[in-house]
Amino acid sequence: IKAIIQAVVSTQSTGAGTEASGTGNMKFMLNGALTIGTLDGANVEMREEMGEDNIFIFGMKVEDVAQLWQNGYDTRRYIERLPELKLALAQIKSGYFNPGEPHKFSGFADGLVDNDRFCVIADYEAYLACQEQVSELYMDWIKWTRKCLYNIASAGKFSSDRTINQYADEIWDIKKVHVDLNPPKE
C-alpha cells in the first residue's frame, strides 16, 4: 500500500519584506500546488517564473509594511473592526478548539495580538478576499489544472541541481568533477 500525500494549495502569509517565506513552498510548486501568499521571499521569485496569473498574491507590499510600522501598527484596531477575527481569536484563547487543554493555544493568540511581526492581522481582510478567488478557481478544474501545470513547468529554476551549480560557479568558486556511480541495488 502506498500513501500519496498531496496539497493543492500552499499558504505563505508572512509580511512583505520579512523574507520569511522560504523555499518549502517551491516544493509545493514543483508538485503542482498553487500558492496563496504575500509578496515576500520565495513567492517573489516564484511569481517571476510562473507569471502573476498563476499565483495568488494578497496583502501589503514592502512599502506598505514599512508605513504600517512607522505609523504605529496596532493589531487591536484591526481586530475591533473584524468581528469574525475577534471571535476566532477569543475562541482560540478560551480553549474552544481544544477543551481538553483549554489554555494550550492562548499564548499563540496573545502573541499574534501583541507581537504580529509578520502583519498577519493587517493582511487578514486581503487574505480572505484572495481566498475567495482560490475557492472560485478550485470549482473550475480545467482552469485549476492549467495553473497547476504552469507551476510545475515553471519550477525548474528551483531545482537543487541548478542551485548547486550556480553556487559552485558564483559563490564557492569550485569546478565540477564527474564521478561514475554504480547503479543502485534493487
∠ Cα 163 166 171 (to 5°): 115
pLDDT of the residue at 4: 57
pLDDT of the residue at 131: 96
pLDDT of the residue at 10: 87
Distance in angstroms (rounded) separating the CA atoms of residues 78 and 54 = 29
Distance in angstroms (rounded) separating the CA atoms of residues 74 and 97 = 26
**pTM of the predicted protein model:** 0.80
**Whether residue 90 has pLDDT greater than 90:** yes
Distance in angstroms (rounded) separating the CA atoms of residues 131 and 57 = 10
All residues at 6 or more sequence positions from 30 whose CB lies less than 8 Å from its CB, including other chains = 151, 152, 155, 158
Please indicate whether residue 184 or residue 53 has the higher confidence score (pLDDT). 53
Q: Work out the mean pLDDT of the chain and round it to a whole number.
A: 89
> Sheet holding 9-12: strands in order across?
9-12, 34-37, 56-57
pLDDT tens profile 149-176: 999 999 988 887 877 888 888 889 898 8
